[in-house]
């Protein structure tokens, strides 16, 4: 694969998924797309680049995007965002939504489902306080392959040992051979949908809480600006956005205000006052 062919793949991935690959990531393209070549019986990455440029195969295009998507996730990843939910956000919204008794949460780029299922377990643990409430968890990803895995809720021994407390494993999972499946009760609490963050997602409606963690780091500045703008519109006026530990809106978007007490927690900024007309 020469420089021009690599550029074709880079441009395609940027336009279709938002993934911004630097030239030093060629090794990543070569390692991940070799399997796609084998699957589609394509003789090498040079030919793959030609097929992508031709636009003849939507199935191939989808396979390339899915192969290049990073799906690193685990239960209660980084712990703090879930502690914030349990100890700060849930009590806050229990109070603020007491009359409506409705709470909507969106986990964007949810991969194989560990993040939304972690939240679902916390919500179920608080079921006594949420009696009579309508709590909706929407979880999305660009990859249909990982969404199928997420809906099944089946994880291997390594996956359930990454961050999942033993008491929640015993309470909400059933073992079958070397795998564990999360209970139908918890699976039913999460609505998985295919969503591309660089495209319009207004059909999802508005949310009280959005988890959009460890995905914007793969986008360039212009794409981040656009996504943040649309995330702000997807939040209600007193909504909350949680980002990954290495992500920030500072210098990128003025639609959010950093919560000084919690790293990675942002509230929707108040709209600027209207300028008086002369």
Active-site residues, by number, are 32, 141
Helical residues (DSSP H) of the chain, grouped into ranges: 3-17, 26-39, 45-54, 58-68, 80-84, 90-96, 114-125, 144-152, 157-161, 166-172, 184-187, 221-233
User: 141: closest CA among 181, 104, 112?
Assistant: 112
CA distance 176 to 111: 22
Strand order across the beta sheet in which 173-176 lies: 154-156, 179-182, 173-176
Rounded CA-CA distance 68/49 in Å is 14
């Amino acid at each position: 694969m020469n420089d021009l062919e690599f550029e074709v793949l880079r441009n395609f991935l940027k336009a279709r998924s938002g993934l911004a690959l630097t030239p030093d990531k060629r090794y990543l393209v070569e390692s991940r797309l070799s399997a796609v070549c084998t699957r589609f019986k394509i003789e090498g990455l040079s030919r793959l680049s030609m097929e992508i440029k031709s636009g003849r195969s939507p199935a191939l295009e989808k396979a390339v995007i899915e192969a290049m998507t990073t799906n690193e996730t685990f239960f209660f990843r980084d712990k703090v965002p879930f502690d914030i939910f349990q100890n700060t956000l849930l009590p806050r919204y229990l109070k603020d939504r007491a009359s409506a008794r409705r709470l909507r949460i969106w986990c964007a780029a949810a991969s194989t489902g560990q993040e939304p299922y972690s939240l679902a377990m916390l919500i179920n643990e608080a079921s006594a306080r949420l009696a009579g409430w309508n709590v909706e968890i929407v979880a999305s990803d660009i990859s249909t392959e990982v969404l199928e895995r997420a809906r099944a809720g089946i994880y291997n021994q390594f996956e359930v040992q990454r961050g999942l407390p033993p008491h929640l494993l015993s309470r909400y999972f059933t073992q079958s051979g070397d795998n564990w499946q999360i209970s139908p009760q918890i699976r039913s609490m999460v609505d998985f949908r295919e969503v591309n963050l660089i495209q319009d997602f207004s059909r999802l409606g508005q949310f009280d809480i959005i988890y959009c963690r460890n995905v914007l780091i793969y986008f360039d500045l212009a794409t981040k600006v656009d996504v943040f703008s649309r995330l702000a519109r997807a939040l209600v006026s007193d909504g909350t956005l949680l980002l990954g530990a290495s992500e920030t809106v500072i210098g990128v978007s003025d639609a959010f205000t950093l919560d000084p007490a919690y790293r990675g927690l942002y509230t929707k900024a108040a709209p600027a006052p209207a300028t008086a007309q002369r």
